[in-house]
Amino acid sequence: MEKSAVVDWPPAISDSQLEALTLLATTYALSHGLVYLPAGNVQPPAPTSVIHAPIALFPSPIPRHLFLLAQTLQRTYNVLYARVATDEKFLDRVMGEVEGVGKVDEFTGQLWRRWRKLRDEGIVQPVQLGLFRSDYLLHAPDGADPSLKQVEFNTISSSFGGLSQQTAGLHKYLYKSTEYYKSSPHLKKENFPPNNTIAGLAEGLAEAHKAYNVANTRILFVVQDGERNVFDQRWLEYELLEKHSIHVIRQSFNQLLHSAKVDPETRALRVMPPNSLLSDGSESVEISTVYLRAGYTPIDYPTSAHYDLRYLFESSRAIQCPSIQLQLAGGKKVQEVLTKPGVLESFLMNEARWGTGVVPREEVDRLRASWMGMWGLDEEIDSDGTTHEGLGVLRARELSASLVLKPQREGGGNNVYKEAIQPFLDSLPPQEREAWIAMRLIAVPEGLGNYLVRAGGGTDGAVKTEVVSELGIFGWALFGGADGGVKEKEVGWLLRTKGKDSNEGGVAAGFSVLDSVVLVD
């Protein structure tokens, strides 16, 4: 990768060209569903206005070989997390209430207890669907050639597939319409990789629906009340209907508390749509697949009834996306334990366990090389029962300037960075340390910039700043059937870009903008 491709970005353009690009970008976004609902405490029953999603004006450079590596790694990750999710003993040890994170993290414990109850009663539907996203940053310490390092692996509500495809389309449109004023030799047609994430994610949902194999069933989208990112989800809904003839029902946890029932005889999950009978005269519809775009944060479970609703879903024969155990598999503590010697190999290379499903050593080594150093903050207990700071905490204090602490939370805004670590550790009760991991910070390349465009700024709204870009690769896996196999695919990508001064990376949380890739050699 040429050095100039990293540091001389974005390309130089005039003020009038910047204004023209901003107008073209925002009108394209509004015309192509690259939109959010406006912020507000109360949304009307039906949307009456939208704003464009936060976007980058230029695509951001990613080395071609690292982009291709991330795509290749996704298929190994698909298999890995499918296998982790079906290893009950491993998850009990790492995430359970007796030995693992669940004993100190109430949210994890609530989910794990319901999974244990399901196992005690007998799980009705063993088949599971995962819609995954593996997130990466470029790592270039001391100006070295960049390498690919994983930030996290998402097993629930892996969002922005729809809007990311539209963002890639936006940047291709700007190139076709203006050639970006010939401002960079890297901005040419062959350097814009295709992005068909909508079709890919919908294919995974359609495969689960097909595996359920009952006529006149629908897929349930479980969404958050007041969801602003509704259009990212709608793109999947439209694809399912138009390409697969599969209908979708969208309801929140609060709605489903009243509308969802499980037939005690057939174990079918049935949901009553609001306000009207279905076209065939029935009052409810059978659900083939439960797709969770909510349920990844304690905020989604304000009462025990909401946790019990999650149990209700899982007690049915509907295929879960994700199941509780697959959601637990996405925990930060699992990510940390997988880095320990021999653990990854046990899931991918144990021939006695996986037979012909063994992953070659070369692929396993590539995957392991994508990880930064990380460790747990678990306390140590002396033989007399007294506690003291364990090596994990002492090491985190010593290296705090180069670390991030991560809890078992999704959705952005939960991590603790650098100078905030010492006072945080002082305030963290010893019994809660097991819920946290320490991870070495990724040293992103210096000198990358972009124009970030948020709604409300008009043609003067493009703000130039130094940025960090996070690449996400999507995949899906259908697994848990009688044959023990994993059907999986790598299906697309996203790029999120933030100002370098921001530690967090969530678009929905307000930290990042949507971006796309220009490949550089």
Q: Where are the domains of the chain?
A: 15-372+442-519
Catalytic, 496? Answer yes
Selected catalytic residue, list 496, 505, 506, 516: 496
Selected catalytic residue, list 78, 134, 159, 315: 159
Is 293 annotated for ligand binding?
A: yes
Catalytic, 489? Answer no
Token pair, residue 19, equals 């204004």
| Residue pair 300/253 in contact by the 8 Å Cβ criterion | yes
In the chain, the amino acid numbered 116 is R
Selected catalytic residue, list 411, 461, 485, 499: 411
pLDDT tens digits, residue range 169-204? 999 999 999 999 999 999 999 999 999 999 999 999
Is 288 annotated for ligand binding?
A: no
Is 234 annotated for ligand binding?
A: no
Q: Which residues contact 355 (CB under 8 A, 6 or more apart)?
A: none
pLDDT tens digits, residue range 206-250? 999 999 999 999 999 999 998 999 999 999 999 999 999 999 999
- pLDDT 10s digit of each residue in the chain, 521 long? 444 345 589 999 999 999 999 999 999 999 999 999 988 755 667 788 899 999 999 999 999 999 999 999 999 999 999 999 999 999 999 999 888 899 989 999 999 999 999 999 999 999 999 999 999 999 999 989 999 999 999 999 999 999 999 999 999 999 999 999 999 999 999 999 999 999 999 999 999 999 999 999 999 999 999 899 999 999 999 999 999 999 999 999 999 999 999 999 999 999 998 776 677 767 899 999 999 999 999 999 999 999 999 999 999 999 999 999 999 999 999 999 999 999 999 999 999 999 989 999 999 999 999 999 999 987 454 444 444 567 889 999 999 999 999 987 765 568 999 999 999 999 988 888 888 999 999 999 988 999 999 988 777 789 999 999 999 999 999 999 988 899 999 999 999 999 987 655 455 444 689 999 999 99
DSSP 144-183: PPPEEEEEEEE-S----HHHHHHHHHHHHHHHHHHGGGG-
- pTM, two decimals, is 0.93
Selected catalytic residue, list 154, 184, 315, 450: 154
Distance CA 515, CA 86 (A): 35
- What crossing angle do the helices spanning 161-178 and 230-244 adopt, rounded to 10°? 90
What per-residue string of b and e applies to 376-403 under the rule 16 or more CB within 10 Å gives b?
A: bbbbeeeeeeeeebbebbeebeeebeeb
Selected catalytic residue, list 75, 134, 149, 152: 152
Is 159 annotated for ligand binding?
A: yes
Catalytic, 239? Answer no
Is 310 annotated for ligand binding?
A: no
Distance CA 284, CA 382 (A): 58
Token pair, residue 125, equals 């539907």
Catalytic, 119? Answer no
Catalytic, 411? Answer yes
Selected catalytic residue, list 114, 250, 310, 406: 406
Is 470 annotated for ligand binding?
A: yes
Say how far residue 409 (Cα) sits from the centre of its chain.
12
Is 414 annotated for ligand binding?
A: yes
Is 512 annotated for ligand binding?
A: no
Catalytic, 195? Answer no
Catalytic, 410? Answer yes
| Residue pair 300/230 in contact by the 8 Å Cβ criterion | no
Is 514 annotated for ligand binding?
A: no
Selected catalytic residue, list 97, 207, 379, 410: 410
